[in-house]
Structure 1
Amino acid sequence: MAEVLANDSPKYRNSLICCSPRTVEVSTSPPSSSSTSGCVSADESYDSNYIPRSVANKKLKIHSSATKEEIEKAILQCKEYVFSSPQCSEERKWFVRYLVELRLRLEDLKDNEGVLRVRVSIKGHHFEQQTSASNRKQYCDHCSGVIWSIVQSSYVCTDCGYLCHYKCVDHICRVCAHVVMTDKGQFEMTICPEKGLAGQDYKCAECDTALTFKDAWNEPRLCDYTGLYYCATCHWNDQSAIPARVVHNWDWEKRSVSRIGFQMLNLSWSRPCIDVERINPKLFNFIAELEWVHKMRRGLEWMRRYLCACDKGSSLLSPLFVQLGDVNKKYSMAHLQAINDGSLETQLTELTEVCRSHITNCPLCSGKGYLCEVCANNEILYPFDSGAIMCEKCNSMYHRGCWLRKGQKCLKCIRLEERKKQIDVPDHNDSHLEYDIDKFVN
């Protein structure tokens, strides 16, 4: 039975550990400070990569069996740290977050005195008790053990999906991935920013477990997304494409990432936060599909302005249109993956044709078109037409052939410059007239 559990657990999956794990001596000493509630932890297991060390050194820790009076005392102490910390600083931000979690813990203690807690707030997580048994096998993110949903109570974070046993909820040391990604606001755009084991003091980046290559049980595992080393409990060899490798090299090969990295990638996979034009503009020259989508987005930006001003056209603004027609020109990993698969090309083509048909046939939208001043024909031009070009100064529209025939000079801009010169030219005859007021005074 032990061999089956060892082979089935994600802790030992794809590792160098043999089938029959060796016996581990269990310490009979009382639990250390790692058994804190996680609201405000200052022990060795705090995540030094996301929580400022100055905050952890305040030693605001609450035991899992803390009473109401102890929590209220911690709230008062945390308030003092909030007021004493500099405004808009990283310390104040984390102190305020801890203060909110302490208050939630206090409310949870009041509502569930002596009863199994339904909701728990720890380290940015918002846990809720799982009431129904899952059809698939689940593993605890803290101890990597199997969760027997029939006989064991468990919690799941409603923000990041962190799953743990009821007995492990007060001992977790990982900050909520939703909190981390909200603070950062973007993906890590450096390819595997590895610091080395020496930079981590030869300890796991999450739980501070000692790492060594001499022992297969504590062999370090590299996260290709964060560039940090983790133990087997915090790194389950989850496979995922890396945003930095995609943007810089268009490399979609899946690589091993830690649990925190896997959760952060899943949370922000559909969030448009990658500015490809700023990070790697040369990528458009090598990926034809990406360049085509980029041009289509420019047309969608203009179509969005037409449709937003029309009552009937606003119904065409689908979620895909809202994301790709946004003016921030950012992509999500889901968009880039759809470009690589070729599925986004078909969706954009259909969406563009439907929107173009409405704009050209709608009396209100078509009345906002342009006429070419060079050829003076009755063909209506729109900013999203491939055969039209717009002047960047005055927004006048021309056919591309007419624009090139006039030497890429805008006729309206030329008239405005000539008119400005006529206004700015002074009258030299009047400038030499001198008036002596004494001649008119008796």
Structure 2
Amino acid sequence: MTDENSRALYDRALSVMPGGVNSAVRAAIEPYPFFVQKGDGGHVIDADGNRYIDWVMGLGPLLLGHSLPEQVQAAIQKQASAGPMYGTPTEIEVDLAEFVVRHVPSVEKIRFVNSGTEATVSAVRLARGYTGRNKIVVMQGGYHGAQESTLVEGDAENPAPSSAGIPQSFAEHTLPVPFNDEAAVREVFDEHGDDIAAVLTEPILANYGIVHPEDGYHEFLREITAEHGSLLIFDEVITGFRVGGLGCAQSELGVIPDLTTFGKIIGGGFPVGAIGGRAEIIESFAPSGPVFQAGTFSGHPVTMAAGLETLQFAAENDVYNHVNDLGEQLRSGLTDIVADQAPSYTVTGTDSMFKVIFTRDGPGPDSLEEQCKTGCRQNPTCPRYDYCPKNSADVKNAETERWRRIFWGKMKAQDVFLSQNQFECQFVSYNHTEADVENTLEAYKNAL
């Protein structure tokens, strides 16, 4: 396997782009990332002609894989050939909005934007404008895009910016609490309840190793926000239209938030974001309300066509059965491999998402027969329950450097492309096959 072309491209990139990349996570691969030339089905081919099974799938947007079904490809090309964009409304954005409203329980109206970050920025502004309050409760380690309100670390007593360039005065309006910790949430509401605009959380921590909520946790968030007149916002940028099918993770969990943010799959692989929710709240966006929100490329017709055709194809075909079955095969196979070779590690994920977290502690291998078979579900009867990650700190305490510096490279050497660090999800697409699963499981055996 050669990487001369990728090395040369990275050398050029370092001269004109900070760190040689346009998104920081891409530089996590050492000594440099490989440059992709094209996608093919469930695979990518790099600039040196090396072919990899791709479980990154653009970090989640590619539900259908790299080779789109003919009708999806045709719809995208037809829309693009009609002209790139117009600065006026189009029918296709209405069509996609109607589709989402029909299928997602919490969404009565929706506003399309251009990225997941823009969606969460707008949702936070909307929550503050609608409630007249300032503070936002977030989960420690949860990622909601590159925005000032959520790039905050520490705890509710000592919040601090997690990035240079964010004033401390901004961070003081954000209250980080551990995921799955009801007592911590009660404490911040006891202290700040009259000024909490919203609780913002992923239904499943999907950007921090994949951590499920404990039974009743989101029901508790729903109750305490309603009690205090605050909003509950689900960030479904990652889980939307991947977990729980067309109803998204909220339908699987049975908890209906006030607002939901979307990205990734809703745009069919093109730049997109969206904020949906109760009509009376969404109507607070300009021009119908006082919360300003606008964007030149919002509702871009090519993106809208890609998103609508992707979701319609998923609705009319066996997409979710296929990707979820392969996801279950992966997690089940990984559970067996880990129990045999690395019993302290934790297999996580659901539906078409999967990950192995290099947790450091666990029960003896003889007691693992009754563990969760296809990914950790925070089941109190599981012998791993006391050891599986409950929040971001537990994931961060795993062997993250071993995962990135040793394991990732071993998998790449076997032509398997995994996400660039311990924290990012891995995803199954409609283009993946059982052969891809079998080859990947064999690679895990060798790498572990």
Q: Which has the higher strand share?
A: 2
**Larger of the two Rg values belongs to structure:** 1
Which TM bucket (shorter chain)?
under 0.3
